[in-house]
Structure 1
Amino acid sequence: MTTHPTTAAANTAPLISAHAAADALVLVGRPLREDAGPSPRFGDDVWKMAAAYHLPNHHKGQSTIIFTTVEDPIWRLTAKEYAYSRLTKITEGCKRLPSVVTVCREFREFRKLFVFLAERHPGLRLRDLVDDTVLDAFLDERVAGIKPELQPQERGRVKWFLTLLFRTRESITFDQLERLPWTGRASKHVAGIRPPENMTRRIPPQVLAPYLRGALFYVRIASKDILAALAEQERINEPVGDANKGHRGTGQALLEAFIERRRQEGRGMPARPADINLPHKYTPASDRRVNRTLIAKLARVGDNTVDHPANLELLRQAAAELGLEEGGMDTEISIDEETGRPWRPRFHSKSLLIDTRMLLTACYVITAYLSGMRDSEAQSLKPGCHFTTASEDGIIERHKLRGKVFKGRQSVGDEDTWVVIEPVAEAVAVMESLTDCDRLFYRHGYRRDNDGVGTTINHLLNVFADRLAEVRPHDPIPLVDGEKWRFTTRQFRRTVAWHIAFQPFGVVAGKIQYKHVKVAMFEGYAGSSASGFPSEVEGEQRLARTEHFLDQYEDFKAGVRMPPRLAEQFARIRDELGDFPGRVVDPARLRAMLTNPARTYYPGVLNDCYFEPSTALCLSRRPSAEPEAAPVMNHCQPAKCPNSCVLPQHRPAIDSVIDDTRKLLTIRPMTSLQKAAVHQQIEQLKHMRDQTEETAR
């Protein structure tokens, strides 16, 4: 080990940075929240920087650095100087200052590096790293235990952190990383080839369908009962003295009236939740299932009145006569039309709190999934965010939400608007009835109710799945590979983009069609919104076109006749690869060769389009000055256009259109010209159907 004079001095004298004063503000120049306290100073051992982070799904722990967790004083100062430099200066290779959460994440990487050096190479400093041997070992340890498909991404992230550590060396006083790691080689060469596809998992359709149906059930049916029960709870929680002012009846008389009312209604006495057993020194174990607290509230008497020995005997006799009723609150429970029974027993305070949180989660699921919002965007919504406007033609009423976009924007976010469909508007309306603070999605029932769901939302998504198994056992969520599906907020946006691209005519749940979602989303996102959802759908559509093209190629090899252009393209690829029976072809190379031609291949319902602008009839109505990068599907002429590819899988749809067209001749009177046009249309469709028979042979 090499001992440096500056290091030796630092071990005996107080460590003072040569680049930052102890009282320097670390958040200088950053916009802070209105309720922010004083900014941390460089000399502090704890930097609480939540005031400079404006995303609503943020947890304060994500923006806090505790430097005392680094034991070595030199490395502690090094970490401070690195963090201060990143917070106050734009580092080489970066376009802007990083967020405070990013710097906190880099500090955690710092700690892992320091622990690795201390345990594996005691006495070694950053300035002693003269080659990549130690850093290679650090990379290997960092990805140990991570799934193989995620390792390149993690290695690349760590490699970038080490590059930043080198680029901030001039802001470090004692222990700089003086050598550029891996001599500046690109991350892909150090980390390995990264998978091109988005790594966020898509929710399988068989999992999503019952999950979304359950969310819609909570919003449309269960919400009425939950909101009514919350109103009842607010009434019965009023102080008894105020409610009974001027009432001449005794506590026992009120209890007797309550019992008689239950008797007349054919209901039992309220029961304590089965999973709560609160023994009372005056009450025998046999009476502990009677929910005396709720009885006191419903009867409008004090707790002491209920606990009087004479009244305990009165309740004991009533429970023996009437039995016990699970829950016990008065709010009636709606009937689930799918089962013909109430969807749950009556509420008590604990079950009401649980289902209130589940209702919040259901509203989040519908809002995030059916709008394509990111988690931060959904959590930015506030009461009053929903409004309606007429479409450009004045016929359709569009539902819209006001919120904030954060990705790629200023740190405080920018106001923006989303066009959504009716179920999202319904979910927002429910949340506006549920909330009593300045945000829609908040931690209901916790000590600080106005806190956002933040990092707890992923937990709630999975608790909601478990709750649906109890409330809706007739519509179960299946296991995937023998395990429960693990829901995360990122999956919703990826999944709806995939469904729009791969299944444009599928059904979300009930009568909600993805096509309607797509139209609504794109009307909003195609405008000023920078949320980037269209690009995600376009990425999924490119994948869909490639998969469809691969399927057609396999059919071609199996002997299915293809339209001339497709046959020519597939024959060229087959000959170039030597993809003949008995020979194994590299799947990656085959996919690479098919990806490029698939970019201009557009699957459709009545036909596919192998787009060539020079021969596309759909472009004949467009001004020549406009770009010709994609077909205009609304102007497609599948029976005439040379780009049209009619395949066997299109025949059912063509037959359906022929039948519908023939019905026009019988359900309304037509002129001779109209009849001629309809007959001509039928003949063109029959010609297309004949093409499917030819390609199938």
Structure 2
Amino acid sequence: MELRIGCRRPPEESVPGLLRYRIASKIVKRQPLGGTDDEWVVIEPVYRAIELLEQLHDTPAQEALLIGRFSFNVRFKWFKNWANSEASRRLGLASIPDGPANLRMLRRTLSLEMAYRPGGVLATKIYMKHIAVATTEGCASRPGGAQAELLAEVNQHESERDLHLVLEEFRNYQEGVLPAGPGARSLTEFFAGIDAQLDAASAAAPKTQRNDRDVLNLLTKRAKVLHLGPANYCWFTGPSRALCLKLAGTPTVDRPLIGMCGSARCPQATHHSGHRSVWAEHADRTKIFLGQLGTTRKTERTRLQADHDRALRVIAGIDSAIAIEG
């Protein structure tokens, strides 16, 4: 219903002999008023059908609605009557069997046809604009599959990334660059324990060089509890100590709620040099907002001032930790 004249995009030849057809339209469901522009990859018959509709349009002005609002049930009834008529048979077209048909059924059939192809579940999720893969699995009656393999691969990459982040912070600790934040002491004590183990091993075997693999083996357990926030690291060692879970009233959840993280107060959060720019930008923006508030906005000024002061304290803590030499 949102298709307009001129919605066909020029075919793209990604590889010799293989054309990709796109149409431009809008997503309306769960979108702001007026919809959101988007594009779809379609098969060639759909592309040609839209071209024919443009040629048959009564007023083919650019950006005019190609079809507009219509009742699918009425249109389908008309089409079915014609497809089962003598005129259709003379053209050699197959008859449409009796039975109900609606847009939801057609969408489900398309989902099934796409999902059972290699990599089709993820392709169906993208094409059908589903928010979660679970929706696609239910639509296609196919739990597990390609998306499960992708999720496992993503989790593996995340684990490797977390391990190397912990190693990087351990190396910073050895060079005297310490973490800041409420959880800094706990993390520093952990690094000190690892450093002591390495020193003891080196003393027992003076000719042995401890490589990164040996250190990573010691850091693996800590890396498994690392969760990345936009302005902090969360070392989720226990739900009972997580401020976000206390605020949400879910003290038994096994993962932190990063979106509710109050890293300046949570005993499991640490701030590092890479987070300083985020806090500095937040402090600058808060200061600008404070300057724009009128004298009557006392409640808002009090809240923003506390937020600004907290950001400055975090920045000062990061600078102080960086300045400490081992």
TM-score by structure 1 length? 0.28
For the structure 1 residues 559 and 396, does the alpha-carbon distance in structure 2 shift closer, same or farther, using more than 3 Å as the test? farther
1:528 to partner: Cα distance: 5.2
The answer to whether the 8 Å contact 2:167/2:219 transfers is: yes
1:632 aligns with 2:257: yes
Report if the CA contact (8 A) 1:525-1:534 is conserved: no
CA–CA separation in structure 2 for the residues paired with 1:396 and 1:588: 55
The 3 A distance-change label for structure 1 pair 549 and 387 is: same
Q: Do the aligned residues in 2 keep the contact of 1:522 with 1:534 (CA within 8 Å)?
A: no
Shift of 1:362: 8.3
Deviations along 1:142-167, one digit per CA (max 9) or x if unpaired, are xxxxxxxxxxxxxxxxxxxxxxxxxx
| Counterpart position of 2:235 | 610
Per-residue deviation, 1:389: 6.4
Match of 1:692 among 305, 318, 325: 318
Equivalent in 277, 281, 302 of residue 656 of structure 1: 281
Pairwise CA RMSD: 4.1
Q: CA deviation at 1:431?
A: 6.0
Gap change, CA 1:661 and 1:526, over 3 Å in 2: farther
Question: Which runs of 5 or more structure 1 residues have no equivalent in the other structure?
Answer: 1-222, 228-354, 365-382, 400-421, 437-488, 494-516
Structure 2 residue ranges without an equivalent (≥5): 1-7, 50-117, 138-143
Q: Which stretch of the first structure deviates more once superposed, 672-681 or 561-570?
A: 561-570
The structure, 1 or 2, with the larger RCO (C-alpha pairs under 8 Å, 6+ apart) is: 2
* Residue aligning to 1:596: 221
SS of aligned partner of 1:694: helix
Q: How does 1:256-335 map to 2 (within 5 A)?
A: none
Contact 2:130 2:136 in 1 (8 A): no
CA 1:527/1:543 → structure 2, altered by over 3 Å: closer, same or farther?
farther
Letter in 1 for 2:193: R
Distance 1:682 1:637 in 2: 14
Structure 1 residues 357 and 560: alpha-carbon distance in aligned structure 2, compared to 1, 3 A threshold: closer
Normalised to the residue count of structure 2, the TM-score between the two structures is 0.56
Of 672, 676, 681, the residue aligned with 2:298 is 672
CA contact 1:600–1:611 (8 Å) conserved in 2 = yes
Take 1:523 and 1:638, find their aligned partners in 2: how far apart are those partners?
Answer: 29
The structure having more radius of gyration, on CA atoms, is 1
Correspondence list, 1:334-345, <5 A: none
Aligned runs of 1:461-480 on 2, under 5 Å? none
Task: Tell me the SS of whatever aligns to 1:523.
Answer: coil
Write the letter of the residue equivalent to 2:259.
Answer: N
Q: What are the residue-to-residue correspondences of 1:344-423 with 2, within 5 Å?
A: 356=13, 358=15, 388=27, 390-391=29-30
Which of 182, 193, 213 does residue 572 from structure 1 map onto? Answer: 193
Distance 2:161 2:35 in 1: 29
Task: Determine the C-alpha separation between the residues in 1 that align with 2:269 and 2:299.
Answer: 27
CA contact (8 A) 1:608 1:646 kept: yes
Q: Give CA-to-partner distance per residue, 1:139-194, whole Å, 9 cap, x none.
A: xxxxxxxxxxxxxxxxxxxxxxxxxxxxxxxxxxxxxxxxxxxxxxxxxxxxxxxx
CA–CA separation in structure 2 for the residues paired with 1:522 and 1:551 = 38
Instruction: Give per-residue Cα distances to partners, 1:644-697, cap 9 Å, x unaligned.
Output: 101122111111000111111233436111101111111111111111012102
Q: Secondary structure at the match of 2:131?
A: helix
Out of 538, 543, 546, the position equivalent to 2:155 is 538
Identity among equivalent pairs (%): 17
- Residue pair 1:601, 1:610 contacting (<8 A) in 2 also: yes
Letter in 1 for 2:160: L
Give 3-state SS (helix, strand or coil) of 2:234's partner: strand
Kindly indicate whether the alpha-carbon contact (under 8 Å) linking 2:290 and 2:301 is maintained by their aligned counterparts in 1: yes
TM-superposed deviation, 1:360:
8.3
Separation of aligned partners in 2, 1:633 and 1:550: 22
The residue type paired with residue 606 of structure 1 is A
